[in-house]
């Protein structure tokens, strides 16, 4: 909880949701050079260290709740006196992948911003993209693979390698499964924290839905309200009333 809180505050330093530099607004059409130039400008005006730190804290805030089960696998699979080291290796692998993904994601965000013309159109497009992605079998395939467990060695460097590899693989599939949602908070200016929190809940709900066969389906975010209704029915029913789906 502490980590998540600190992350929320620090991530608001990531100013991509503010209006992008004028160079973007000027370019009528999307071109690779415009994206590159804008990205360069953005990175130049925001120190890399700060940018990376802000991105990382945002990730830690949003992703940590998703890692409970994989972390417990790492924990339970390691010798008692190596558990901290093993968890650290796993987290390095996991967030390492996300850290490197920051740049391509930033480029996608800027491209989207250029295409859309203004921040609110970019936000709408990102949300739509995320909804379509959530409904797609591709997302389901990535999500399924983000549940896969692999061996964790017990001794020496082999154990560290296994933890790193498990973290990195999981991070990769998490990224593949949730990348459009990660764009959304970047286009929200005033309620950035709320947007991040909302996206974190959506990602949690997607993971909790669990694995399943590949097909187009109703996006989880739209079924969250029904889930809540079902939950209340269960609670009410266990205290006497009869339940329906």
Partner 1 sequence: MVGKREDAWKLGAGWNDTFLWYAKAVIALKSRPVTDRTSWRYLAAMHQFDRNLWIGLGIIDKKTKLPSASDMDVAWNQCQHSSFYFLPWHRGYLARFEEIIAATIVSLGGNAGWKLPYWNYLDSTNPNARKIPEAFLLKYLPDGTTRNPLEDVPRYGQKVLGPEPRLHIDDIDLSAMDEPDFTGSVSFGGSKTLFSNPDIGIRGQLENVPHGSVHVLVGGARPANPGDGYLSAFETAGLDPLFWLHHCNIDRLWAAWMIKPGVNMEAGKQWLDGPSNRAFAVPKADGSGLENYTARDTLNGGKFYPDYDDLHAGTGVAAVPAGGQAAVLVQGPATMTEPKVIGANGEKITLGDAPVETAVKIAPQAGKAMVTAMGPGAPEADSGKRTFLKLENIRGASSAGGLKAYVNAPAGSEKDLPQEYVAGSAALFGLGSASKVDGQHGGNGITLIFDISDLARRLVDQGNFDPSNIRVKIVSAHGGGSTNPITIERVSVLRE
> Which residues contribute to the site for partner 1 (CB under 8 A)?
69-70, 72-73, 76-80, 140-141, 144-145, 147-155, 158, 208-214, 230-231, 233-235, 237-238, 242-245
| CB 153, min distance to partner 1, A | 7
* Euclidean distance between CA atoms 116 and 114, whole angstroms: 6
Using the minimum distance from each CB to partner 1, give the nearer residue, 39 or 169: 169
In this structure, are residues 33 and 110 in contact, taking their beta carbons and an 8 Å threshold? no
DSSP-H helix ranges across the chain: 2-11, 22-26, 32-45, 48-63, 68-77, 83-116, 119-135, 137-145, 156-183, 192-209, 220-238
Q: Give 100 or 216: the residue with its C-beta nearer to partner 1.
A: 216
Give the residue with the Cβ less far from partner 1, 85 or 230: 230
Decide: 221 and 134 in contact? Cβ < 8 Å: yes
Nearest-approach distance from CB 164 to partner 1, in angstroms: 16
By beta-carbon proximity to partner 1, the closer residue of 125 and 143 is 143
- Closest separation between CB of residue 147 and partner 1, Å? 4
Q: Give the DSSP H or E segment for 14.
A: none
Question: How distant, in Å, are the alpha carbons of 46, 83, 183, 205, 233 from that of 175?
Answer: 24, 25, 12, 15, 34
- When the beta carbons of 127 and 217 are compared against partner 1, the nearer one is 217
The burial of 176, by beta-carbon neighbours within 10 Å (0-12 exposed, 13-18 middle, 19 or more buried), is given as middle
Nearer to partner 1, 73 or 85 (CB): 73
CB of 83 to partner 1, least distance (A): 10
> Using CA atoms, how far apart are residues 74 and 152, in angstroms rounded to an integer?
7
Rounded to whole angstroms, the Cα distance separating 12 from 69 reads: 28
Burial class (CB in 10 A: 0-12, 13-18, 19+), 206: buried
* Closer residue to partner 1, CB minimum distance, 22 or 239: 239
**Shortest spacing between CB 225 and partner 1, in angstroms:** 15
* Cβ-contact 162, 77 below 8 angstroms: no
């Amino acid at each position: 909880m502490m980590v998540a809180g600190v992350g929320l505050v620090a991530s608001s330093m990531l100013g991509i949701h503010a209006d992008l530099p004028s160079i973007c607004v000027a370019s009528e059409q999307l071109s690779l050079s415009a994206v590159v130039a804008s990205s360069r400008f953005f990175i130049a005006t925001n120190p890399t260290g700060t940018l990376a730190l802000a991105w990382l804290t945002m990730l830690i805030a949003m992703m940590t709740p998703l890692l409970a089960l994989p972390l417990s696998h790492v924990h339970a699979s390691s010798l008692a006196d190596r558990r901290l080291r093993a968890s650290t290796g796993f987290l390095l692998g996991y967030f390492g992948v996300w850290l490197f993904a920051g740049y391509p994601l930033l480029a996608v965000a800027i491209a989207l911003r250029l295409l859309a013309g203004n921040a609110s159109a970019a936000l709408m497009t990102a949300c739509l993209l995320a909804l379509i992605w959530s409904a797609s079998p591709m997302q389901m395939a990535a999500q399924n693979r983000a549940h896969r467990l692999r061996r964790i060695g017990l001794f020496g460097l082999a154990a560290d390698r296994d933890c790193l590899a498990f973290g990195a693989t999981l991070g990769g599939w998490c990224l593949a499964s949730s990348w459009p949602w990660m764009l959304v908070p970047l286009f929200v200016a005033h309620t950035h924290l709320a947007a991040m929190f909302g996206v974190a809940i959506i990602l949690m709900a997607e993971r909790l839905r669990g694995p399943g066969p590949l097909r187009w389906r109703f996006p989880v975010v739209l079924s969250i309200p029904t889930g809540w209704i079902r939950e209340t029915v269960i609670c009410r029913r266990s205290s006497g009333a009869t339940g329906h789906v």
